[in-house]
Copies of this chain bind each other. A is one copy, B any other.
Amino acid sequence: MSEFGKSGIVKRNVERADAKAVERLGRSGVATVHEAQGRTGLMKPYMRPVWPGAAVSGTAVTVLAHPGDNWMLHVAAEMIKPGDVVVVAVTTDNDDGMFGDLLATSFRARGGLGLVIDAGARDARTLAEMKFPVWSKAIHAKGTVKATVGSVNVPIVCAGMLVHPGDAIVADDDGVVVVPRERALAVADAAEAREKNEEAKRARLAAGELGLDLYAMRDPLAKAGLKYID
């Protein structure tokens, strides 16, 4: 943990979450994965997909950037391995457009699957046409400088959530969730179990059965003091 928040470091070798588990997490989706790991791991809800329908799961290459400066995203490109998602934190709140279609082209050429950035992105239309998935705090054309070094592959806090390099990242229309590398397999299992369980419930609810009965809530509600009046 000693590299948390430090500028000036690029870590080359990163152990990544199991690729198969990451793929399975992606199939389960953000809401299910979040529940399956005990309602943890979600980034703040201001993180939204740049284009609707974007969805990705991958392993994190982390970036710590400075406000108005996207230098480290170029450094990160070299660290990308196939299956990675780049996750960018900034040392202070910033909405500048640190990422656009050129970097997307570069990341994809290196095997990068997507981007999660606690700042702005631009070239929104081209990113949609390329189907390169991006979650950001803002869409903003504001250009950036390349003047101050940050870090790549150090632990970061992105949109309120701790991310270590190599963690599993799942993102879709519901937001972004982080699964610690070493828990990826267990959470994938739990998520699939949850999905199976939900399928049965969905059928019963669709048939008109009430959650009150399905989840046996009437008794606890009465004990908690709920009164029905006419």
Contacts and interface: CB of A to CB of B under 8 A. Distances in A.
Interface of A: 1-2, 4-13, 30-31, 34-35, 38-42, 44-45, 48, 53, 66-69, 71, 74-75, 77-78, 91-97, 100-103, 105-106, 108-110, 120, 122-125, 128, 138-143, 145-149, 155, 157, 160-162, 164, 172-175, 177, 180, 182, 198, 201-202, 205-208, 210-212, 215, 217, 220-221, 224-230
A211 B76 CA distance: 10
10 contacts: A35-B143, A68-B68, A68-B69, A75-B212, A92-B95, A97-B174, A106-B206, A106-B210, A110-B210, A139-B174
Contacts of A202: 101-102, 105
A85 to B, nearest CB: 17
Given A92-B95, A212-B77, A226-B149, A38 B6 contact: yes
